[in-house]
Chain A
Amino acid sequence: MKYIYSCVFLLLGTTASLGAQSDLPFRANLEESCTIEIRSDGVLVRDGLDVLDSEAAGGNSGAATVYTTGAGFQASLKAPEAFSRAPNGTGAVTFMTTYSSTGATSTAKVPGSTITPLGVGASNLSVDLRAVADNAIFQKGAYEAFVTVTCE
């Protein structure tokens, strides 16, 4: 009987020691990409009779975060050519955009057309718009314009 128990223990021990181990690999091959997240729209307020400016008291900058997963990407802004919505009779308007960045890309305020190389990671852009009426004043009513954030 002792002999049988010894054989069983010996067999169990052998089985345990023969337990195989193998690594199961998980792999990923990510493409470089750029993602723009619009976090908040801006707010234009009057700054004199002929100027609407998001930097004036009561206005708000727009905020966007640009996520890049590789080097070589760059960001810039395109100013609107006209208001997409404005009261009837609104004449020609000159638009100027600026932006600054924190996070993966640190930039002091620059004109919107400035092309800024982006660091890898999340870059937080603060976007401002100024609209100047050409020889006119802004009448009461709703105004809407779109600034385009470009990552390429």
Chain B
Amino acid sequence: MKLILLAAFIAAGCGIGVAQSMTPMRGKISSFGDTFTVRVFPYNPYPHKIRMAVKAYDQDFRPIEAHVFPAETMVGSKTSRSVLVSVGFNNNKVRRVRICAESIPFPGRGTNIKAQVCGRFIAYRID
């Protein structure tokens, strides 16, 4: 019984480690509207599911308003999820943004590490 409990704890510990990837990592978008939309694919290369959030930042890494669907999602083992991110131009003709897939670690104790993979995108508004 002790051995089973030990194995369970080890398995739980292994589950804490998270990784992620995202494609595309670079992109140029041309849009006729007041907003532009990017589709990204966060990927979970691990043998267990993980929870991810997708967020948008400006070129100085400040959070910006964006419509993200789904903003937070579970990603199964070795699968990717399609996430749509729509960002307004804010009256600019060009907007540079970062779109980041971020891991949401399970609560633990001590110093945990979060992974953040960011793609850089530049959007042009066509009048």
**A151 adjacent to chain B (CB < 8 Å):** yes
Cα distance A151–B113 in the bound complex, in angstroms: 13
Contacts of A150 in B (CB 8 A): 100, 116-118
**A109 adjacent to chain B (CB < 8 Å):** no
B118 touches A33 (CB 8 A): no
B114 touches A149 (CB 8 A): yes
Given contacts A35-B21, A36-B19, A38-B17, contact A146 B110 (CB under 8 A): no
**A54 adjacent to chain B (CB < 8 Å):** yes
Interface residues of A in 29-83 (CB under 8 A from B): 31-44, 54, 62, 64, 67, 70, 73, 78
Given contacts A146-B105, A147-B113, contact A34 B25 (CB under 8 A): yes
Residue in B100, B113, B118 whose beta carbon sits within 8 Å of that of A38 in the complex: B113
Cα distance A41–B17 in the bound complex, in angstroms: 8
Chain A residue at minimum C-beta to C-beta distance from B18: A38
Cα distance A26–B101 in the bound complex, in angstroms: 31
A152 touches B119 (CB 8 A): yes
Proximity string of chain B (99-125) to chain A, C-beta cutoff 8 Å, 1 when within and 0 when not: 010110101111111111111100000
Cα distance A38–B105 in the bound complex, in angstroms: 10
Interface residues of B in 50-89 (CB under 8 A from A): none
B109 touches A142 (CB 8 A): yes
B113 touches A42 (CB 8 A): yes
B118 touches A151 (CB 8 A): yes
Chain A residues proximal to chain B, CB less than 8 Å: 31-44, 54, 62, 64, 67, 70, 73, 78, 84-85, 127, 129, 142-152
Chain B residues proximal to chain A, CB less than 8 Å: 16-26, 43, 45, 98, 100, 102-103, 105, 107-120
Closest 6 CB pairs of A and B: A42-B111, A36-B115, A152-B118, A35-B21, A37-B19, A148-B114
A36-B117, A41-B112 given. 15 additional CB < 8 A pairs?
A: A31-B23, A33-B23, A36-B115, A37-B17, A38-B16, A38-B105, A42-B110, A43-B111, A64-B113, A70-B25, A127-B111, A146-B114, A148-B102, A150-B117, A151-B117
